[in-house]
């Protein structure tokens, strides 16, 4: 089974409505026919507009950057997975290191969010990744294994097959430092091995694992050409249409 190659753009908390509309239009204009999947993950206010303009473009999808773990109710300021679905989202980023770090999201909370997302037919893009001190102490695999076990590995096989994984070393996010292609490959291979042990080799071979952390047009090709890297989760470079589209076009030709 050939797994999906994906480039997702995480706009984070950037772009007011007009800026976001212009960016999305500019990306769409530059895209050729898409061989791989592309996911735009803007702030909530853009989701409706983006899903309207991407509706008829094959392989272009919309994702959110977060959702609440409960279905609905008195949770002022929060967004439910069913609401995201209702404006055309197919994906939701969960477990991003900024959510873990600034909003205290831990494994138990993320497991609940993953369940709610899946119950509403949203595919989680589940992020894992170690901080610099863990990398320097050689503990990166331990950290990632723990994040996978606490947030995801309670899922059954069918549910898990709807999850996309993203390895994002925290020390590489927004810092201009990228993991080397070899560091990315090593961790992706390790993650795939864990998935194979927990589920099956078949499931592991079908799971897309994206790399994230300072991916740019200049380094995307080298990273995407690694055997276990199935694409990227792009932050800063997703805010520039030309850079983002160049990254989308960085997969090695089959
Ligand atoms: P970056 O962000 O590309 O700006 O490093 C990646 C991410 O946080 O998803």
For the stretch 39-50, pLDDT in tens is 999 999 999 999
Would the pTM of this model clear 0.95, i.e. be above it?
A: yes
Choose one of 234, 238, 247, 250 to mutate for the ligand 1 pocket test, by most ligand atoms within 8 angstroms of C-beta.
234
Helix 107-119 to helix 140-151 angle (10° resolution) is 50
Catalytic residues: 96, 168
Cα 42 to chain centroid distance, Å, stands at: 12
pLDDT at residue 254 in the model: 57
pLDDT band at 178 (very low <50, low <70, confident <90, very high): confident
Atom of ligand 1 nearest to the CA of 166: 9
Q: Count CB-CB contacts under 10 A for residue 77.
A: 5
Residue 5 Cα, ligand 1 centroid: separation in angstroms? Answer: 18
pLDDT band at 173 (very low <50, low <70, confident <90, very high): confident
Spatial separation of the C-alpha atoms in residues 42 and 12, rounded to whole Å = 7
For ligand 1, is residue 207 a contact (CB within 6 Å)?
no
| Residue closest by Cα to atom 6 of ligand 1 | 235
Mean pLDDT in the chain? 96
Residue 74 Cα, ligand 1 centroid: separation in angstroms? Answer: 32
For ligand 1, is residue 184 a contact (CB within 6 Å)?
no
Q: Once rounded to an integer, what is the mean pLDDT over residues 199-208?
A: 97
Spatial separation of the C-alpha atoms in residues 195 and 200, rounded to whole Å = 7
pLDDT digits (tens, 9 = 90+) for 127-155: 999 999 999 999 999 999 999 999 999 99
Spatial separation of the C-alpha atoms in residues 135 and 60, rounded to whole Å = 34
For the domain spanning 6-248, the CATH number is 3.20.20.70
Percent of the chain with pLDDT over 70: 99
pLDDT band at 1 (very low <50, low <70, confident <90, very high): low
Closest Cα to residue 244, out of 253, 234, 230, 252? 234
pLDDT band at 175 (very low <50, low <70, confident <90, very high): confident
pLDDT band at 95 (very low <50, low <70, confident <90, very high): very high
Q: Is 79 left (phi over 0), alpha (psi -120 to 50) or beta?
A: beta
* Domain layout of the chain by residue ranges: 6-248
CA dihedral 249, 250, 251, 254 (to 10 degrees): 70
For ligand 1, is residue 213 a contact (CB within 6 Å)?
yes
For ligand 1, is residue 7 a contact (CB within 6 Å)?
no
Q: Once rounded to an integer, what is the mean pLDDT over residues 102-123?
A: 98
Spatial separation of the C-alpha atoms in residues 73 and 47, rounded to whole Å = 21
Q: Is the predicted pLDDT of residue 179 greater than 60, yes or no?
A: yes
Q: Once rounded to an integer, what is the mean pLDDT over residues 11-30?
A: 97
Alpha helices for the chain (secondary structure H): 17-30, 47-54, 81-86, 97-102, 107-119, 132-136, 140-151, 157-160, 181-198, 201-206, 217-224, 241-248
Percent of the chain with pLDDT over 90: 94
Backbone angles phi, psi at 225, to 5 degrees: -85, 0
Residue 18 Cα, ligand 1 centroid: separation in angstroms? Answer: 22
For ligand 1, is residue 212 a contact (CB within 6 Å)?
yes
Q: Is the predicted pLDDT of residue 253 greater than 90, yes or no?
A: no
């Amino acid at each position: 089974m050939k797994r999906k190659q994906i480039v997702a753009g995480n706009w984070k908390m950037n772009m007011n409505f007009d800026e976001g509309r212009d960016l999305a239009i500019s990306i769409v204009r530059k895209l050729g026919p898409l061989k791989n999947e592309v996911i735009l993950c803007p702030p909530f206010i853009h989701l409706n507009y983006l899903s309207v303009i991407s509706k008829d473009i094959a392989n272009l999808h919309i994702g959110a950057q977060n959702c609440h773990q409960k279905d609905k109710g008195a949770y002022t300021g929060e967004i439910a997975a069913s609401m995201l679905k209702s404006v055309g989202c197919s994906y939701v980023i969960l477990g991003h290191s900024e959510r873990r770090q600034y909003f205290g999201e831990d494994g138990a909370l993320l497991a609940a969010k993953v369940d709610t997302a899946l119950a509403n037919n949203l595919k989680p893009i589940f992020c894992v990744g170690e901080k610099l001190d863990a990398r320097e102490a050689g503990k990166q695999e331990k950290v990632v294994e723990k994040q996978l076990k606490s947030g995801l590995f309670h899922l059954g096989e069918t549910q898990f097959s709807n999850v996309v994984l993203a390895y994002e070393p925290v020390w590489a996010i927004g810092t201009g430092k990228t993991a080397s292609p070899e560091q990315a490959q090593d961790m992706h291979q390790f993650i795939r091995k864990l998935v194979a042990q927990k589920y099956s080799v078949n499931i592991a071979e079908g799971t897309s694992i994206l790399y994230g952390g300072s991916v740019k047009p200049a380094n995307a090709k080298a990273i995407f050409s690694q055997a276990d890297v199935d694409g990227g989760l792009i932050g800063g470079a997703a805010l520039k249409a030309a850079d983002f589209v160049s990254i989308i076009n960085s997969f090695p030709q089959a």
